[in-house]
Amino acid sequence: MKRKMTSPYSSLHDSYVPNKGRSTSCVTLAVVVGCLTVLGILVAIAVLERPPPLQNHDTLPEEAGGSNVSIDQCSMALVESIPQHVKYKGNVTFGIPLEQVWKHLISIATHKVEVASFYWTLTGEDINVNSSSDTPGRDILKELEELPSRNVSVRVVSSVPTVRTNSTDLDVLKQKGVQVREVDFGRLTNGVLHSKFWIIDRKHLFIGSANMDWRALTQVKELGVVVYNCSSLAKDLYKIFQSYWVMGQSNSTVPHPWPAKYDTAINQHHPLLVKEDNVSSSLYLAGSPPSFCPPSRTQDLEAILSTISEAQHYIDVAVMEYFPATRFMKPQKYWPFIDDAIRAAVFERKVRVRMLISCGRDSDPAMLPFLQSLASMDSPHHHINIQIKLYIVPAGNQTNIPYTRVNHNKYMVTDKVAYIGTSNWSGDYFETTAGVGLVISQHAPPPVWKTEALQSQLKAVFNRDWHSEFAVNLSDLGHHADCALSP
């Protein structure tokens, strides 16, 4: 049964520049504070050609066997942050508030916490802003500081800053006994560390769009997933964390190949199988860039492409940025892989596609022609159904806070799969930049599906946003002060 509340909660946005930019429906497990019942519940490429699928998986470790059946509980819940002053009309579905989930994960940690984030700005001073909306960020920072005094080991990996900030978060954490490494992905891959995830006691995990930024809690719309009591998946995510950690040494070089301990038995062709009540799930983690993925790891782009190609009826996408091009490497180049897959789905298989793209004051207007090109395919007479809307978060009186009031989501849901990632959809994120995605496929009897499957909940969240007053048809945009793509 869904638990409904009336006040929405909050969330941030990133690009390659840090600081740039409730009804609560619980998805299975009575472990999340504030939810009486939590209902049970990427291939990157280095060259411009789509690589072939992995063959035979002869690099899988011997213990992989033919399947991965988890004996863990592996309960999942959708997590969201809704910006302050954004109110939805009607009785709609929300994920569990991000602040609540982060605080709960900290509270249940007993021996190890590992966090990967693009950057850290958990207080207003970090970005020269005085706002009471940074209070949740301050609280999170304070609770993380206190973990070492509870004999909980804390390790943090972040990207070497690409822009100077005033942030002292990592220095404060180090003074309290937290181990911190900043990874120079610019030197290693010409990218950044863009992943955002937590691992608690190698048992619980969070993956989503939110950086360690107070704006992600109160000023930006975020989405992620928390997975409890799932050691198999948490230990697999830890392999990705550890690859960042070792590359955070000053003299590091990317190994070719990666040592066997970074290999995985869980991937697109050998997912982790989980049974919880009446919902059966198959899960796997995907990663980027290619140079950080052993052959047994499904790469992030291939996870996205296969999700699109396997859809039979519908594909719903919510991402902050959509560019079938590279954005940051010079010279820029055309990068059509996701775009081609979407066009093939709507044209060849008559799959209905809806795309919800963020538009804020800092969005790049260069995105508009690509979106218009996709939208121009829509032709009901020819059974081609592709619709594109822009999600615009009202800035209101929050314009003094830089790089906020955006929909930072990075997910896709189809009739087959839910995909929740950490990357925007442009070439750099899959060729040079570190990111992760969680792919979930679920089966359940129809009544159970509606209330307990995370896929169903993600679909409900997409529908909520798609039909909200904040979603504007591309063709109806007109001038909008809070959207840089408007004329």
Active site positions, annotated: 194, 196, 201, 408
Phi and psi at residue 139, in whole multiples of 5°?
A: -60, -45
Could you please report the per-residue DSSP string of 10-69?
A: -----SSSTT--------S-TTSTT-S---------SSSSPPPPPPTTTTS-GGG-S-EE
DSSP-assigned beta bridge partners for residue 175: none
Identify any residues that bridge with 437 across adjacent strands, giving them in sequence order: 286, 421
Q: Which of 273, 274, 272, 304 is nearest to 286 (CA)?
A: 304
Helices marked H in 48-158 — which ranges? Answer: 98-108, 135-146
One-letter amino acid for residue 37 of the chain: T
Nearest Cα residue to 251 out of 188, 334, 316: 188
State the greatest distance between any 2 C-alpha atoms of the chain, in Å, as a whole number.
66
What span, in angstroms and rounded, lies between the C-alpha atoms of 270 and 423?
23
Q: Please, are residues 4 and 23 in contact by the beta-carbon 8 Å criterion?
A: yes
Q: Determine the length of the chain.
A: 487
CA distance 66 to 401: 52
Tokens 């790049």 belong to 364
Burial class (CB in 10 A: 0-12, 13-18, 19+), 411: buried
User: Residue 300: phi, psi to the nearest 5?
Assistant: -60, -45
Burial of 162 (0-12, 13-18, 19+ CB in 10 A): middle
